[in-house]
Structure formats: structure tokens, C-alpha cells
Structure 1
């Protein structure tokens, strides 16, 4: 039986470090600096995370962002902008799998890895489904958006679960085009998404979500699970990447190119 490593490492008040660590633990798995597939569960306190191909000023209302004191951080994966607060629980998983057909890798990646989150939601009483490749929907409301990346035989997916997110803040800071809203048949972003708390009519604790996600992915991968701390290599990678994630070039320019010469080689030694 395979093993699934669980990381609860997070820096909620430093979204730059949280996002640097996302890329770091994916790279560590890809270059075999860690030996087991890894599920990370984490939170940001107050931030907007934009996709790699987005331009922050077109996706975010900067005046509203300043009013609530949130930060903008670009992630290394594609997809749309999302608002993070402590009512939003993020999950990220990286696995070594060669069972997905190359010609349909992207669709298969989402369908396969999102199944763990669907399992988790079922455990807390929410029947959900995948729509538009990378959205998780319950009824007619979106409760999670996801993005993914792959390098050869290493797959990575991360997503945000809206547990008790402040939807008013979410709606105030994100710009959503009228065309996109019309395609969804709604008038504003606030009414296109909902939270798990609203769906279930009860509060949901952090531990309940963590346990559900761990069990959901354990079942998907048929794995023994164990909790762990970040490795030395992951932390070193994250520290090196931190310079990128705190730079205006990375966070605010269009599709920035940022390469670190010898990033992995220096750490492997």
C-alpha cells in the first residue's frame, strides 16, 4: 500500500510564504527530494490570489483591497482569482502517477485529483460534482475552484474550499466580467458562490474539514496516511522562492518570467 504524507504547515499572516511553499513542495516531490505523495491543508488570513496568466489590476479592485488590508499574490498555476480569509480552507496535493493517458492528461488530472475533495465533501454531508473541468459545485452554487500543473510524471492540484468565507469581502475585491456572470446566469459574484456553512446550516470547524480531506484522499489513493513537518529541502526551496513571491514584478506584471539558476542543484548539493 502506498503512503500519503499530510502537511498542515501554514503561515496565514504571510501569504507570500504560503504560496512560495506551494511551489516548493511540488518541486520537491518532482525532483524526488521527498519520497511520498503529499496532501497539504492550509489557510491565508486576508489575501487575493491571482492565476499565473492573469493581470492583477484587471482582476482585483485595488481600492477595495486597500480598505480591507489584503495582499495580492500570484500563484504558479493558472486559473482565476480567488479571495482567501480564515473561513477559506485550501488543499493542495502532489502525486507521482503515470496512470493518466497523456493525450487527455489535463482533464484526467482534474477528474482524478478532485475526486478526493468530492469524497471529503460527502463525508460532511455535501453532495457535490465537478463542473467546467476545475470547479466544484453543490446544487447551483460553486464552493471550490481549483488549478493544476504537471511536470512529466508529477501531478499537482490545489483548490480553495469556501467554508465560512466572508462573501461580501469576496464580492467587493474581485472583478468579474459581466459576460462571465451572464454565462453563469447570475447578476453578481456574491450569488454565484456559497459557503459550506450556508449549505449545511451549521458551523463547520477546521478539524472537521481537515479530517474529511485526509480521509477523502486516503480513500482515493488507497494509502496509509501520516502527518509530517516540512522537510529541510522544502523549506530551503520556499525560502529561495520567497524573493519571487514578494516582488512587484511577479505579482503585478503580465505573465512574468522568473527563473532561478541552480535553484534545485544548489539544494541537492
Structure 2
């Protein structure tokens, strides 16, 4: 198993090297961080539904669509990436890809614990500390391989992330920012503001060596660099970025595993903002003209999200 401890790379290299390895049929672990910020969509995300393109253009934040799953993420140099590429015929790879997260994420979990965070797996693919997400991860079949990708958060800009996502209105954006701040955490939050890439890379290498005792340090060769550049060109086209994705009838944003913020339209001049945790209403707010329904909103807190019950309460058929 090859190890590429790359340190700082360009924003596109932080995505294209593991894609290139997968298409070349190479197995290995990549550690790196991007020199500049960018937005990364999951394979099945819909660009126009998910992204505030005007904001990204105004802030000169580039867009990228990866070939792994998961949702939209904002990535910058305050995050350390760890990426694992395995051939699909590798006997260590289970048929159900989600079963491998527990092993893949163990080095990151151990690194977080080293710095005092009580990190643990939040199935299937999050790492959480005291119930707050500190790592979002994804996987996908690429070429002849399967890639697993994840990150460790040194710090995070919730305001920028809330502006990157397309939302119905400014009030929804405020709720989104608050929900992320309340349900995510970083190394800085736990008093580890001086921790850097070298500290985390050393711990991650140690963790992956426990899984792959034959890790061999490598640097990107001509074939890998060339393939990565080809992939960058392909994935920078408008056709690829604007590839149709999964669309929802309501605006629904995933914050963490089993935690969503959604908007439910209530006529032309009102909407309902709902925070759902494990399918239950944790918070609810009506935006727009108030009426008698306001007095009944609290009765839905703690209840299973039920469209039929909601329709009855607001008098819709």
C-alpha cells in the first residue's frame, strides 16, 4: 500500500490525485490539505438546487464535483484530508461499502482522541464528539477502485458555508448557521488552536500503519500527475458541474447524520423552517404572516415528522 503524505497542494490536486489513483488501479493512502478554499459537490448533488453560484463567483470560490457520495462541503486549509483508494477485488473491502467506515475512520478517531476529543463513529460515516459532528466522510466506486475520503477539522467557517448553500431566504440562512454551530465542533473548540498539519499527519500515518503494515512512502510520479491533470480538466467543464442531480420538492439540507434543516412552503407568503433530528421535530419556526397556527406549532416539537398531520393542522387537503 502506497503512502502519499503530500502536505499542501492546490485545491484541485486535493481531489484529483485520489481520482487519478483509482482510474489507474493503484492502491494507496493520501494525506494533504488544499492551499485555497473551494466547494465540493457529491456525485449526486444538483448544482442549481444546492449552490449559491452568485456568492461563489463573487468570492472567487471554485466548484468541483467529486465521484464519491455525500453532500456539499466547503473545504479550505483548516482541514486535513485523508483518502484511501482500494481495488474493488481487495479482499479487505466488504460488499457493503458502509461496513468499512469503522476501519477507515479509526486513524482519524484516534487522532481526535489524542487531542482530547471523545470522538466516536456516528454510523454510517460521521465522526462525532459529544454528539457534535467533527468529520464528514464519503465513499464511491471510481474506475476499477473504491475511494474513501474524509477530513479532520482544525477550524470551520460556518458563515461562509451558510452563504455557499442556496437557501430560500436570509432567515433560513441564519437558522442554518446556528444549527451548524450547535451541532458541529472542531479541534479549535477544544483548545487545540496550535495543532497543525504535521501533528495530524503523523498521527494518521501511525493509524493507517496499524491497518496496513506495508505502507511505503511515495511521491506523485509523472503518470499520476498527468492523470490528475486530465481529471481536473474533465471535472472543470460546465457539463460535468451541471450534471443533473437528485432534487427534492422542499429545501432540505443535511447538517450531520440524521440531522436536517428543511423548509416547508405554506402558501405564497409563509413557510415553515423545521430542524429534524432522527426524524423528529426538534425546532420549528414560521416565517411570514402569523395566524392561529402559531399557537399549535409547539405541539409538534418532539413528534415524528408527519406531512399528513401537518396538513391537517394548517387546513390543507
Same fold (TM over 0.5): yes
Pick the aligned partner of 1:248 from 213, 222, 238: 238
Say whether residues 1:227 and 2:227 are aligned partners. Answer: no
Q: Could you say which structure has the higher strand fraction?
A: 2
Does the 8 Å CA contact 1:7/1:230 hold for their aligned counterparts? no
Q: How does 1:157-168 map to 2 (within 5 A)?
A: 157-168=148-159
Pick the aligned partner of 1:204 from 195, 207, 230: 195
Pick the aligned partner of 1:51 from 42, 53, 78: 42
Q: Indicate the SS of the match to 1:164.
A: coil
Q: Which residue matches 1:22?
A: 18
CA distance in 2, matches of 1:186, 1:165: 12
Pick the aligned partner of 2:75 from 78, 84, 89: 84
Q: Indicate the SS of the match to 2:17.
A: helix
Q: What are the ranges of 5 or more consecutive residues in structure 1 without an aligned counterpart?
A: 256-269
Pick the aligned partner of 2:32 from 19, 22, 42: 42
Larger radius of gyration: 2
Task: Report which structure shows greater RCO (CA 8 Å, sep ≥6).
Answer: 1
CA distance in 1, matches of 2:72, 2:54: 16
The number of residues matched between the two structures is: 238
For residues 6-50 of structure 1, what are the alpha-carbon distances to aligned partners after superposition, in whole Å with 9 as ceiling and x for unaligned? 3316533xx33432222102222x2xxx4xx42111222111100
Q: What are the ranges of 5 or more consecutive residues in structure 2 without an aligned counterpart?
A: 246-317
Does the 8 Å CA contact 1:164/1:197 hold for their aligned counterparts? yes
Pick the aligned partner of 2:4 from 3, 6, 22: 6
Q: Could you say which structure has the higher helix fraction?
A: 1
Q: Which runs of 4+ in 1 moved over 6 A?
A: none
Does the 8 Å CA contact 2:7/2:33 hold for their aligned counterparts? no
Does the 8 Å CA contact 2:156/2:186 hold for their aligned counterparts? yes
Q: Indicate the SS of the match to 1:91.
A: strand
Normalised by the length of structure 2, the TM-score is 0.66
Does the 8 Å CA contact 1:11/1:43 hold for their aligned counterparts? yes
Does the 8 Å CA contact 1:90/1:158 hold for their aligned counterparts? yes
